[in-house]
Amino acid sequence: MRARPAVVLVHSPLVGPETWRRVATELELRGWAVGVPVLTPAFAADPPYTARLAAVAAAGADRVAEGRPAVLVGHSGAGPLLPAVAAAASSDVVGAVAVDAPTPHPGRSLLATLPDAARADLLDRARSGYLPPWDAWFPPGTIEGLVPDAETLAEFRAGLPRVPVDYLEEPAPDVAGFPPLRSAYLRLSDAYAAPAERAERGGWRVERLDSHHLAPLTDPGPVAAAVARLVEDVAR
Protein backbone atom coordinates (compact mmCIF):
# COMPACT_ATOMS: atom_id res chain seq x y z
CA MET A 1 0.00 0.00 0.00
CA ARG A 2 1.32 3.43 -0.93
CA ALA A 3 2.27 5.61 2.05
CA ARG A 4 0.02 8.53 2.87
CA PRO A 5 1.49 11.47 0.97
CA ALA A 6 2.90 14.65 2.41
CA VAL A 7 0.89 17.75 1.55
CA VAL A 8 2.91 20.69 0.23
CA LEU A 9 0.90 23.92 0.38
CA VAL A 10 2.47 26.34 -2.11
CA HIS A 11 1.42 29.96 -1.70
CA SER A 12 1.16 32.38 -4.58
CA PRO A 13 4.46 34.22 -5.11
CA LEU A 14 2.39 37.42 -5.19
CA VAL A 15 1.43 37.03 -1.52
CA GLY A 16 2.95 35.32 1.51
CA PRO A 17 2.76 31.97 3.32
CA GLU A 18 0.17 33.28 5.77
CA THR A 19 -2.41 32.36 3.13
CA TRP A 20 -1.93 28.68 4.00
CA ARG A 21 -1.00 28.72 7.71
CA ARG A 22 -4.47 28.05 9.09
CA VAL A 23 -5.21 25.34 6.55
CA ALA A 24 -1.88 23.69 7.41
CA THR A 25 -2.88 23.60 11.08
CA GLU A 26 -6.25 22.05 10.21
CA LEU A 27 -4.59 19.37 8.07
CA GLU A 28 -2.02 18.57 10.76
CA LEU A 29 -4.86 18.06 13.25
CA ARG A 30 -6.25 15.52 10.77
CA GLY A 31 -2.95 13.63 10.82
CA TRP A 32 -1.35 14.88 7.60
CA ALA A 33 2.33 15.76 7.23
CA VAL A 34 2.21 19.32 5.88
CA GLY A 35 4.74 21.83 4.64
CA VAL A 36 4.31 25.49 3.70
CA PRO A 37 7.47 26.60 1.88
CA VAL A 38 8.17 30.32 2.19
CA LEU A 39 8.79 31.67 -1.31
CA THR A 40 9.20 35.37 -0.65
CA PRO A 41 13.04 35.32 -0.19
CA ALA A 42 13.34 34.22 -3.83
CA PHE A 43 12.74 37.82 -4.90
CA ALA A 44 15.77 39.10 -2.98
CA ALA A 45 18.20 38.38 -5.85
CA ASP A 46 18.23 39.21 -9.55
CA PRO A 47 16.15 37.34 -12.16
CA PRO A 48 15.32 34.77 -13.36
CA TYR A 49 12.81 34.19 -10.58
CA THR A 50 10.66 31.24 -11.65
CA ALA A 51 13.42 28.64 -11.31
CA ARG A 52 14.42 30.03 -7.91
CA LEU A 53 10.83 30.03 -6.64
CA ALA A 54 10.42 26.46 -7.85
CA ALA A 55 13.67 25.38 -6.18
CA VAL A 56 12.61 26.91 -2.85
CA ALA A 57 9.20 25.22 -3.01
CA ALA A 58 10.76 21.91 -4.08
CA ALA A 59 13.23 22.01 -1.18
CA GLY A 60 10.28 22.52 1.16
CA ALA A 61 8.49 19.59 -0.43
CA ASP A 62 11.51 17.34 0.03
CA ARG A 63 11.86 18.34 3.68
CA VAL A 64 8.30 17.46 4.58
CA ALA A 65 8.09 14.36 2.38
CA GLU A 66 11.16 12.64 3.86
CA GLY A 67 11.00 9.79 1.36
CA ARG A 68 7.22 9.66 1.13
CA PRO A 69 5.24 10.66 -1.95
CA ALA A 70 4.08 14.26 -2.06
CA VAL A 71 1.09 16.12 -3.43
CA LEU A 72 1.53 19.77 -4.40
CA VAL A 73 -1.35 22.12 -3.57
CA GLY A 74 -1.05 25.56 -5.14
CA HIS A 75 -3.27 28.54 -4.40
CA SER A 76 -3.85 31.35 -6.89
CA GLY A 77 -0.60 32.41 -8.58
CA ALA A 78 1.10 29.21 -7.42
CA GLY A 79 -0.95 27.16 -9.89
CA PRO A 80 1.24 27.91 -12.92
CA LEU A 81 4.36 27.35 -10.77
CA LEU A 82 3.50 23.76 -9.83
CA PRO A 83 5.03 22.11 -12.94
CA ALA A 84 8.40 23.69 -12.20
CA VAL A 85 8.15 22.68 -8.53
CA ALA A 86 7.39 19.09 -9.48
CA ALA A 87 10.35 19.02 -11.85
CA ALA A 88 12.72 20.45 -9.22
CA ALA A 89 11.64 18.17 -6.37
CA SER A 90 13.63 15.06 -5.48
CA SER A 91 10.59 13.54 -3.79
CA ASP A 92 7.99 11.55 -5.71
CA VAL A 93 5.29 14.06 -6.69
CA VAL A 94 2.24 11.87 -7.27
CA GLY A 95 -0.40 14.53 -7.77
CA ALA A 96 -1.29 18.19 -7.86
CA VAL A 97 -4.23 20.25 -6.63
CA ALA A 98 -4.86 23.76 -7.92
CA VAL A 99 -6.91 25.97 -5.58
CA ASP A 100 -8.63 28.98 -7.16
CA ALA A 101 -5.67 29.18 -9.50
CA PRO A 102 -4.89 29.65 -13.17
CA THR A 103 -4.09 26.36 -14.83
CA PRO A 104 -0.50 26.00 -16.12
CA HIS A 105 0.32 28.12 -19.19
CA PRO A 106 3.69 26.90 -20.52
CA GLY A 107 5.53 29.40 -22.67
CA ARG A 108 3.32 32.32 -21.62
CA SER A 109 4.02 34.86 -18.91
CA LEU A 110 1.60 35.80 -16.16
CA LEU A 111 1.23 39.24 -17.73
CA ALA A 112 0.30 37.64 -21.04
CA THR A 113 -2.62 35.84 -19.39
CA LEU A 114 -4.20 39.08 -18.15
CA PRO A 115 -6.77 41.05 -20.13
CA ASP A 116 -5.23 44.01 -21.96
CA ALA A 117 -6.82 46.62 -19.69
CA ALA A 118 -5.76 44.84 -16.48
CA ARG A 119 -2.21 44.37 -17.77
CA ALA A 120 -1.90 48.04 -18.77
CA ASP A 121 -3.29 49.22 -15.43
CA LEU A 122 -0.92 47.03 -13.45
CA LEU A 123 2.15 48.12 -15.38
CA ASP A 124 1.12 51.74 -15.09
CA ARG A 125 1.17 51.45 -11.30
CA ALA A 126 4.59 49.80 -11.12
CA ARG A 127 7.38 51.88 -9.60
CA SER A 128 11.13 51.34 -9.99
CA GLY A 129 10.56 47.91 -11.50
CA TYR A 130 8.27 46.66 -8.73
CA LEU A 131 4.53 46.12 -8.59
CA PRO A 132 2.38 47.57 -5.84
CA PRO A 133 1.54 45.12 -3.02
CA TRP A 134 -1.04 42.58 -4.15
CA ASP A 135 -3.80 43.99 -1.95
CA ALA A 136 -3.43 47.33 -3.75
CA TRP A 137 -4.30 45.76 -7.10
CA PHE A 138 -7.99 45.99 -6.23
CA PRO A 139 -10.43 48.79 -5.45
CA PRO A 140 -10.33 50.12 -1.85
CA GLY A 141 -12.21 47.91 0.57
CA THR A 142 -12.05 44.78 -1.60
CA ILE A 143 -9.62 42.81 0.57
CA GLU A 144 -11.19 44.12 3.78
CA GLY A 145 -14.50 42.76 2.53
CA LEU A 146 -13.00 39.30 2.10
CA VAL A 147 -10.99 39.30 5.33
CA PRO A 148 -12.93 41.39 7.87
CA ASP A 149 -10.92 40.27 10.92
CA ALA A 150 -8.35 43.01 11.49
CA GLU A 151 -5.70 40.78 13.04
CA THR A 152 -5.89 38.19 10.27
CA LEU A 153 -5.76 40.91 7.63
CA ALA A 154 -2.75 42.56 9.27
CA GLU A 155 -0.87 39.25 9.36
CA PHE A 156 -1.67 38.64 5.70
CA ARG A 157 -0.59 42.11 4.64
CA ALA A 158 2.63 41.91 6.64
CA GLY A 159 3.74 38.97 4.49
CA LEU A 160 3.08 40.57 1.09
CA PRO A 161 6.35 40.72 -0.88
CA ARG A 162 7.69 43.34 -3.27
CA VAL A 163 7.20 41.56 -6.57
CA PRO A 164 9.42 42.56 -9.49
CA VAL A 165 7.69 43.27 -12.79
CA ASP A 166 10.31 40.99 -14.36
CA TYR A 167 8.74 37.98 -12.63
CA LEU A 168 5.40 38.54 -14.30
CA GLU A 169 7.17 38.81 -17.66
CA GLU A 170 8.99 35.47 -17.39
CA PRO A 171 7.48 32.70 -19.57
CA ALA A 172 6.21 29.74 -17.59
CA PRO A 173 8.32 26.61 -18.20
CA ASP A 174 7.09 23.75 -20.33
CA VAL A 175 7.55 20.71 -18.10
CA ALA A 176 7.22 17.23 -19.57
CA GLY A 177 5.00 14.92 -17.56
CA PHE A 178 2.92 17.63 -15.95
CA PRO A 179 0.23 17.55 -14.83
CA PRO A 180 0.87 14.31 -12.98
CA LEU A 181 -1.22 11.24 -13.68
CA ARG A 182 -3.85 12.53 -11.27
CA SER A 183 -4.70 16.18 -10.72
CA ALA A 184 -7.57 18.06 -9.08
CA TYR A 185 -9.00 21.56 -8.82
CA LEU A 186 -10.70 23.31 -5.91
CA ARG A 187 -12.73 26.33 -6.97
CA LEU A 188 -13.42 28.83 -4.20
CA SER A 189 -14.77 31.84 -6.09
CA ASP A 190 -16.72 32.66 -9.23
CA ALA A 191 -13.67 34.43 -10.65
CA TYR A 192 -12.08 31.01 -11.20
CA ALA A 193 -15.08 29.30 -12.76
CA ALA A 194 -13.42 29.18 -16.19
CA PRO A 195 -10.15 27.53 -15.03
CA ALA A 196 -12.19 25.01 -13.02
CA GLU A 197 -14.20 24.15 -16.13
CA ARG A 198 -11.02 23.78 -18.21
CA ALA A 199 -9.57 21.47 -15.58
CA GLU A 200 -12.77 19.43 -15.55
CA ARG A 201 -12.71 19.07 -19.33
CA GLY A 202 -9.11 17.92 -19.01
CA GLY A 203 -10.15 15.08 -16.74
CA TRP A 204 -9.21 16.65 -13.41
CA ARG A 205 -11.44 16.01 -10.43
CA VAL A 206 -13.08 19.32 -9.48
CA GLU A 207 -14.72 20.43 -6.25
CA ARG A 208 -16.47 23.76 -5.78
CA LEU A 209 -16.97 25.65 -2.53
CA ASP A 210 -19.35 28.59 -2.36
CA SER A 211 -16.76 30.89 -0.81
CA HIS A 212 -14.17 33.48 -1.89
CA HIS A 213 -10.57 33.69 -3.07
CA LEU A 214 -9.04 34.20 0.38
CA ALA A 215 -11.12 31.50 2.08
CA PRO A 216 -7.95 29.72 3.30
CA LEU A 217 -7.56 32.69 5.65
CA THR A 218 -11.14 33.01 6.80
CA ASP A 219 -12.61 29.49 6.46
CA PRO A 220 -9.67 27.13 6.89
CA GLY A 221 -11.76 24.19 8.11
CA PRO A 222 -13.89 23.66 4.99
CA VAL A 223 -10.92 24.42 2.74
CA ALA A 224 -8.73 21.91 4.58
CA ALA A 225 -11.45 19.27 4.38
CA ALA A 226 -11.79 19.77 0.62
CA VAL A 227 -8.02 19.75 0.12
CA ALA A 228 -7.74 16.50 2.12
CA ARG A 229 -10.42 14.84 -0.02
CA LEU A 230 -8.70 15.88 -3.24
CA VAL A 231 -5.25 14.90 -2.02
CA GLU A 232 -6.53 11.45 -1.09
CA ASP A 233 -8.12 11.13 -4.52
CA VAL A 234 -5.07 12.15 -6.58
CA ALA A 235 -2.72 10.03 -4.45
CA ARG A 236 -4.60 6.75 -4.99
Looking at residue 201, which CATH number applies to its domain?
3.40.50.1820
In a domain, 203, yes or no: yes
- Say if CB 20 and CB 36 are below 8 A apart: yes
Residues of the domain holding 223? 6-234
175 has pLDDT over 90: no
CA 30 to chain CA centroid, nearest Å: 21
Angstrom distance (rounded) from CA 177 to CA 214: 30
Q: Please say if the pLDDT value at position 108 is more than 70.
A: yes
The answer to whether residue 113 sits within a structural domain is yes
Cβ atoms of 159 and 40 within 8 Å: the answer is yes
Q: What is the pLDDT of residue 1?
A: 47
Does some domain include residue 1? no
Number of structural domains the chain divides into = 1
| Residue 87, domain member (yes or no) | yes
pLDDT given at position 2 = 62
Tell me: the pLDDT tens digits for 67-99? 899 999 999 999 999 999 999 999 999 999 999
Q: Classify residue 191 by its DSSP letter.
A: G
